[in-house]
Structure 1
Amino acid sequence: MFDALTLATGVAALLLAAWCGWAAYRDQPTKDWHFIGMAVVTVLALVQLVGGIVLLVRGEEPTQSTTIFVAYLLGAFACVPAAGFLSLAERTKWGSVTVAAGGVVLAVLEVRLYDIWGA
């Protein structure tokens, strides 16, 4: 798959997690700037989703199951937006904690996607 894109998405997700973790440490909810960061990470995950589907349509295969690969692509795409929506419901520091956890989960999903593709 796209190694640079996978790395960029994982690093961006960890940076978002650190940023929101810092906000939670300071007892702050997610702010507008955090949502811009979430949008950037989500766009990276969307590009990865489209790129992965294009690779599958072209006939390339992951070393593991294609179904698992697509499921991880969809999960990676939905991870940060889901955390963002949950942080809107919880307008305390725990909303920031939720987004930080979503960023860490996305980074782990990126590592797993890298493994599933067979790099």
Structure 2
Amino acid sequence: MVDALTTIIELVSLAMAGWFLVSVFRGQPMVVPHLIGLAVLEVLLLAQLAVSVTLLVDGQRPAETATFLSYLITVVLFPPACAAWGFMERSKWGPAVIAFACLILPVMMVRLEQIWNPPVV
């Protein structure tokens, strides 16, 4: 995994969570700019997926490969699933679903880093 890309994903995700929470507090439903922001986040996640798969194919493997792959697939599928749910919810709670997803992603990215580079004890 690329640490810089992971950090960028975490920062973008947290910034987007803030943006979506502002929309929730303003009572705004999810709109097209929200979807564009999620698309940018998804492109970053797909880049991380591509890098990780390339490293796995190249021979670098974490100790728990199956766990790593399950987290990686979940991280990539989580934003589109939440976007669909958030877009179907036409009240102010649609952006709340996405804000929740954007707050969960950095935690999952940290866990991916921990699996890839286990802490030395």
Task: Classify the TM-score, shorter chain.
Answer: over 0.9
Q: Matched residue of 2:59: which SS?
A: coil
Alignment match, 1:80: 79
1:20 shift after superposition:
0.5
Q: Report sequence identity in percent.
A: 38
1:51 shift after superposition:
0.8
Return the alpha-carbon distance in structure 2 between the equivalents of residues 113 and 59 of structure 1: 17
Unpaired segments of 5 or more residues in structure 2? none
Q: How does 1:27-46 map to 2 (within 5 A)?
A: 27-46=27-46
> Contact 1:86–1:95 at 8 Å: present in 2 too?
yes
Unpaired segments of 5 or more residues in structure 1? none
Return the alpha-carbon distance in structure 1 between the equivalents of residues 11 and 81 of structure 2: 19
> Contact 1:79–1:105 at 8 Å: present in 2 too?
no
Alignment match, 1:47: 47
Return the alpha-carbon distance in structure 1 between the equivalents of residues 105 and 77 of structure 2: 9
Query: TM-score scaled to structure 1, two decimals?
Result: 0.95
Alpha carbon RMSD of aligned pairs, Å?
Answer: 0.9
Q: Matched residue of 2:113: which SS?
A: helix
Query: TM-score scaled to structure 2, two decimals?
Result: 0.94
Paired amino acid for 1:73: L
1:80 shift after superposition:
1.0
Return the alpha-carbon distance in structure 1 between the equivalents of residues 86 and 39 of structure 2: 14
Return the alpha-carbon distance in structure 1 between the equivalents of residues 68 and 55 of structure 2: 11
Residues paired across the two proteins, number: 118
List structure 1 segments (4+ residues) > 4 angstroms apart after TM superposition: none
